[in-house]
Amino acid sequence: MHEKVITAEGTPNIALIKYWGKRDSGLILPMNSSISLTLGKESKMIAGKTFELRTKTSVVFSKYLKEDAIYVNGKRLDLKDTDTIERFRAIDMMRERAGIRERALVVSENSFPTASGLASSASGMAALVYAVAYALDLGLTRSDMSRYARIGSGSACRSVMGGIVMWNKGTREDGVDSVAEQLYPETYWPELRDVVSITSPKAKKVPSRAGMARTVATSSLYKQRVKDVDGRIDAFLDSLRRKDFHEFARIIMEDSNSMHATMLDTYPPIMYMNDISREVIYAVHELNKKNGENVCGYTFDAGPNPQIITLREQVEEVAETLKNIRGIKSIFYTGVGGGPRLLDMKDSLIEEGSLLPKG
Ligand code: DP6
């Protein structure tokens, strides 16, 4: 009954109110709630071609498999590696829920650079949990799925839904209430755009998991950030309700700056931004000043690549500004996405009837 091959796709999300720091690192419970935009998969290069910003994942559970096998971008993962074991614990948890013992074959492919500051872990986990839930007929709600995705990577729990999504930090010790919730569907503010600049496609020096643990342990500024975030979320929700882009942009820039300030206040310090990131920050403020209001706002994750949130009619102006900054390797933009979905058999990454990856 569980021999069916399921293929799903997921897209990354960009946090507008950031998650940085855990209150429980085993259950992946955050210190503060966070809010993100699930990105659309249709992305367009500025002066270039369109491409897809998504992870595609195929899953099959079979009694003919001796052990779990996970392939990401053509490479088989070492399932003895502690970090990998931790990240894929969700598969075991879902298997247990289904009450089966069959091993799984997972084949996953990203269409964008891994570890570039774009959260491939989020789209990957969202696609994986979605595919496994259907492969095992678990009948999960999106909220249930977010609980499993969270185990793989905290920020991933927000990618199991489309539109504007909040990860409620929850208060329970067992983490059952630490789940994602869709605040608005992707149709609510369809003019929103995320303009992404790649300044460096290299993997980051400090992985976010280790980095945030160090911040919680050593930064005194961090305590203030955690206190501030609740109030900031209230103001942010209000700007969303009113679709007040000026306020919306101010709040996301403040929150990104606040998170990066706590990174610098970490000992030894963590610095994800580079000179180009800082140039972009100045240029955005300059552009907003010229317009007499905020027409765009930057946000940076655990990497140097700026993501500039703006509205459709401003994409060109933002892109023109970015083109004048030396060192930016490429620029693309995308809109708001609808979250993971199932794909057809023809999109499968598993060879039909073979229990092997295609190709
Ligand atoms: C800066 O979700 O990668 O992107 O839960 O340890 O896997 P783990 O961390 P991860 O951290 C993402 C941090 C961030 C901000 C955000 O997406 O909210």
**In this structure, which residue's CA is closest to atom 12 in ligand 1?**
155
Residue to mutate (ligand 1; options 155, 232, 255, 270; most atoms within 8 A of CB): 155
**3-class SS string, 342-354:** ECCHHHCCECCCC
Range of the domain at 336: 6-347
Residue to mutate (ligand 1; options 89, 208, 273; most atoms within 8 A of CB): 208
Q: Helix or strand or coil: residue 35?
A: strand
Residue 62 is assigned to a structural domain of this protein: yes
Contact yes or no for 39/334 (Cβ under 8 A): yes
* CA of 42 relative to ligand 1 center, distance in Å: 23
Token duo for residue 162: 């489309």
* CA of 176 relative to ligand 1 center, distance in Å: 19
Task: Look up residue 159 and give its DSSP letter.
Answer: G
How many whole angstroms separate alpha carbon 306 and alpha carbon 116? 11
Ranges in the chain, pLDDT < 70:
1-2, 47-48, 113-119, 201, 203
Atom of ligand 1 nearest to the CA of 25: 6
pLDDT digits over 297-354, tens only? Answer: 999 999 999 999 999 999 999 999 999 999 998 899 999 999 999 999 999 999 988 8
Residue 249 is assigned to a structural domain of this protein: yes
* CA of 154 relative to ligand 1 center, distance in Å: 6
Could you give the angle at the alpha carbon of 94 between the alpha carbons of 23 and 12, nearest 5°? 65
Number of domains in the chain: 1
**Residue environment code for 36-62, b if the CB has 16+ CB neighbours within 10 A, otherwise e:** bbbbbbebbebeeeeebbbbbbbbbbe
ω before 268 within 30° of 0 (cis)?
yes
Contact yes or no for 247/239 (Cβ under 8 A): yes
Residue 356 is assigned to a structural domain of this protein: no
Check which CATH number belongs to the domain holding 271 and give it.
3.30.230.10
**In this structure, which residue's CA is closest to atom 7 in ligand 1?**
153
How many whole angstroms separate alpha carbon 200 and alpha carbon 202? 5
With the CA atoms of 339, 108, 133 and 125 taken in that order, what torsion angle do they form, in degrees rounded to the nearest 10?
A: -60
Question: Identity (one letter) of the amino acid at 275?
Answer: D
pLDDT at residue 205, as a whole number: 82
* CA of 290 relative to ligand 1 center, distance in Å: 33
pLDDT digits over 171-215, tens only? Answer: 999 999 999 999 999 999 999 999 999 887 676 789 999 999 999
**In this structure, which residue's CA is closest to atom 14 in ligand 1?**
301
* CA of 169 relative to ligand 1 center, distance in Å: 13
Residue 138 is assigned to a structural domain of this protein: yes
pLDDT at residue 203, as a whole number: 67
Residue 357 is assigned to a structural domain of this protein: no
pLDDT at residue 114, as a whole number: 54
Cα 9 to chain centroid, rounded: 14
Residues with CB under 6 A from ligand 1: 15, 18-20, 28, 34, 119, 121, 153-155, 208-209, 301-302
Residue 60 is assigned to a structural domain of this protein: yes
Atom of ligand 1 nearest to the CA of 28: 5
* CA of 15 relative to ligand 1 center, distance in Å: 9
pLDDT at residue 43, as a whole number: 83
Beta carbons within 8 Å of 320's beta carbon, 6+ residues apart:
none
Q: Which helix (H) or strand (E) holds 190?
A: none
**In this structure, which residue's CA is closest to atom 5 in ligand 1?**
154
| % of the chain residues with pLDDT over 90 | 86
Question: Identity (one letter) of the amino acid at 347?
Answer: D
Contact yes or no for 113/123 (Cβ under 8 A): no
* CA of 283 relative to ligand 1 center, distance in Å: 26
Residue 359 is assigned to a structural domain of this protein: no
How many whole angstroms separate alpha carbon 122 and alpha carbon 54? 10
Q: Helix or strand or coil: residue 34?
A: strand
* CA of 135 relative to ligand 1 center, distance in Å: 27
* CA of 3 relative to ligand 1 center, distance in Å: 33
Residue 162 is assigned to a structural domain of this protein: yes
Q: What is the largest CA-CA distance in the chain?
A: 65
Tell how strand 34-45 and strand 13-17 pair up. Answer: antiparallel
Atom of ligand 1 nearest to the CA of 302: 1
